[in-house]
Structures are given as structure tokens and as C-alpha cells.
Structure 1
Amino acid sequence: MDNETRLRHWRERMEVPLFAASVVFLGCYAVRVLAVDLPQGWRDTFLALTYAMWALFVVDYAVRWRLSGAGTSYPRRHVLDAVMVALPLLRPLRIVRIYESVQRRHAEAKPRLALYARVIAYSGMSAVLLGFAGALTVYAEERGAPGATIKTFGDSVWWTCETLTTVGYGDVVPVTALGRTVAVVMMAGGLALLGAVTGSFSSWLIQTFTLEADKEPPGTPPEAS
């Protein structure tokens, strides 16, 4: 079995465990941010779980690197994976891989409605997860900061909706360096996810209309208006 086959098998086996680990990681982080009155013992437990899930991400990345046989070029060829190991809250951005799989199927004759529908559904779910993670991070950093306008988690969620949809009313804005860094990531993520949804839906419509046009016999006169 060659390296590529072993790597593919590893990815298939780890997809569900890594998704579950991402949910646990995000859940533990959310509890630590939102439950301010949580007893210290429970806070330590959730922190240990957070680090354990992070360690699983690191092990997965190391195994993929080893199985790829790419040597030192692997991090350059898989930048997104490296970013998600450093910032596990960005794991919802794995929607990029799903969108790439749709792009590779554009040449097929039959429109794949189920596949396009899954891309749209996964994009929506990723937007929610990315927004929730961003809202948590910004709220944890902004609350109590001098001159902060994001003082509650509700303020943070409202700001997240503005940022992901690129509306930007400006009524609440981050004032800390980390908050503004998260804002840049959220803007880029919102544009990418919206592009995936609109691009996939438009491609499906084009394929559908193209097939209908190909089925019409040559020389068919246009319908009278």
C-alpha cells in the first residue's frame, strides 16, 4: 500500500472522530467563556478536555504529515490544516475541502442536486459554527476592555452577524487587537462561505438549463410569446 492510499484511509477513518473532537473542543471553550460562576474544579476539567482535543488535532496533523511522505514541503502544501491546528476554533473552515470536491465534478453531465444541496447545507452549518466561535472569542477578549462596546454575549452575536454578512452597521465594534484580528478572519470567512453557496447554486442551475437545452431537437422553433 503506497503513501497516498494510507493517507486516504487515515483521513476517512478520522473524519468523524475529528468532527466530534471539534464539537467537544468548542463546547468546552464555550462553557469556560460563558459560565463565569462555574466552580474551579469544573473549569479545570473543561480546560483539560480542551487541551486533550487539541492534542488529538496535533496528532492527526503529525500522522498525515508522516503518511504523506512530502517531508518539509507538507506544511506549505496544506496551509489550511496547519492553521486549524494552531487555531482549532477555525475547524469549520474545512468547508473549503467540500467545495473543492464540487468543483472537480463540474465537468460531469448530470447535475448533482444532492451534492450541491449538501454544500449549501454544510456552508450554512459552517457559518453558524464559525460565527459562534468568533462570537465567543471576541466576547472573552472584549468584555471589560477599556472603551469596549461589546459588553455582553448578545452584543458579540449581533456583531458576528453583521460581520459575517458584511453589513457592518458599526454600532458595536471590537477595540482590542485580538478582537480586530478575529474580525478580519470573520470577514474573509463570510465572503468565502457566501461565495461557496452562491457559486454552487449558480453552477447547478446552469447545468440544469444546459441539459434541458441539449434535449431539445435541432431546429426547434422558439415558443411564441
Structure 2
Amino acid sequence: MDDDSLQARWERHTELPLTLASLLFLAAYAVRVLGHPLPAVWSDLCLVVLLAAWAFFAVDYAVRWRLSGRGPSFVPTHWLDTVVLVFPLLRPLRIVKLYEAVRRRAGQARLTLHARVIFYAGMSSVLLGFTGALSVYHHERGAPGATMRTFGDAVWWTCSTLATVGYGDIAPVTPMGRLIAVGVMVCGLALLGAVTGSFASWLVQVFSQEEDERPPGG
């Protein structure tokens, strides 16, 4: 039975608007970074979209905090929401939750644990790769001594960093670029560990089922 609390109803009603706002936020940021230099009117329009979307995220966070009745304990128990409020570029990660909500409303079975882990990891890798490349390129372009001269360089650097390869041919030189690099490294290790652990767990489950199905003495 679905939760009919005020918080649950608020979350159901804001799922789609928040998803659209997160995509608009990401698109506006991408236009500001990749379209540089922009005409003043377009730059201002993108800034308005960014600020309006972030204000929507902040209002949603404040309302859910208030409706939860948990006080300060709401922050650690909703750490992902707290992180995406501080770093709104990660907000599209909620698309996965929207996908599962649509499946439930359509009467479809929930994805298995292993499928959810793979789905989350795949979506997270694509999103973090794109947003990480945008963010680091935003701060690295034009910096003295920068080796990241194009957005393609930023994408290559982000992919190698998320994969924990780190060739070292391209590296951030600005303080903010290096701070973003630390975040990308941590996320890459976390995603790799999640996928590896889920795959290992799936293999153990498959082998255990085969062992159970094997006839005695076989």
C-alpha cells in the first residue's frame, strides 16, 4: 500500500517537475560552458534558469525537511538530497527514482537489487562523466599552463579518471579543477566498487542456485 503521508504526497507531486528542472539546470549550465562566449542576453537567460531551478530544489528540500518532522536528523538520513542541493549538477540522478516510480504506477515489478545497482551505476557514470567534464573545463579553460584546452580533452580526462586509469597526459592545474578531480576520483572508486561487488554477489547467487539444483551425487 502506498504511503499517504503529506511528505509522500508532496514527493509524488514534485517528482516530474523536479526532474524537468534538473534537466533544464544541466542544459543551461552546458550552454554557458560550451557556448562561451555567449551574447549577454543568452548568458543572462541561462543564469536565470540556473537560479530558478536551484531555488526550486531548495524549496523542495525545505518542504520535505519540514514535513518529515525529524529536525536536524533529516540531513544525514537524506544525504543524497543534501549533496545534490549543494551540487545541483548531480540532481538528474533522481531520474532513476522517477523511473522506478513510473514502473510502480504501471503495475510493473520493481527491478532486482542487482539490476538497480547496475542501472544506478550506469546512469551515475554517464552523468558524472558529463558534469565532471563540464565543471572542470569551466575552470581549466584559459588557465596558465592548462593542458585541458578543449571540451574533448575534459571528456577524455574524466573518462580515464572515473575508470581509475589516470594516464596523466591531461591534468587540472587550477585549485577548483583539482578539487573537482578529487570528487571525480572518489566517485569513480565508489562506482567501481559497487559494480564489482554487485557482479560478484550475482555470481555467488547463480552458483549457489546451480549447486542447489544439482541432484545428489551428481
Report the TM range for the smaller structure's normalisation.
0.7 to 0.9
Asked if 1:191 corresponds to 2:189, the answer is yes
2:140–2:177 CA contact under 8 A, matched in 1: yes
In the alignment, structure 1 segments of 5+ residues that lack a partner are 99-111
The 3-state SS of whatever aligns with 2:167 is coil
Aligned-pair CA distance for 1:51 = 1.0
Cα offsets for 1:112-135 (capped at 9, x unmatched) = 875523431331121111111111
Q: Paired residue for 2:217, among 218, 221, 224?
A: 221
Aligned-pair CA distance for 1:214 = 2.4
1:95–1:126 CA contact under 8 A, matched in 2: no
The 3-state SS of whatever aligns with 1:166 is coil
Cα distance in 2 for partners of 1:95, 1:17 equals 11
Q: Percent identity over the alignment?
A: 60
Cα offsets for 1:125-176 (capped at 9, x unmatched) = 2111111111111111011111111111111111101110111111111011
| Equivalent position amino acid for 1:158 in 2 | W
Runs (4+) of structure 1 moved beyond 6 Å? 95-98
* Residue correspondences, number: 205
Asked if 1:75 corresponds to 2:75, the answer is yes
Cα offsets for 1:38-69 (capped at 9, x unmatched) = 32112211111111111111011101100110
Cα distance in 1 for partners of 2:207, 2:12 equals 35
Larger radius of gyration: 1
2:96–2:120 CA contact under 8 A, matched in 1: no
In the alignment, structure 2 segments of 5+ residues that lack a partner are 99-109
Cα distance in 2 for partners of 1:206, 1:5 equals 39
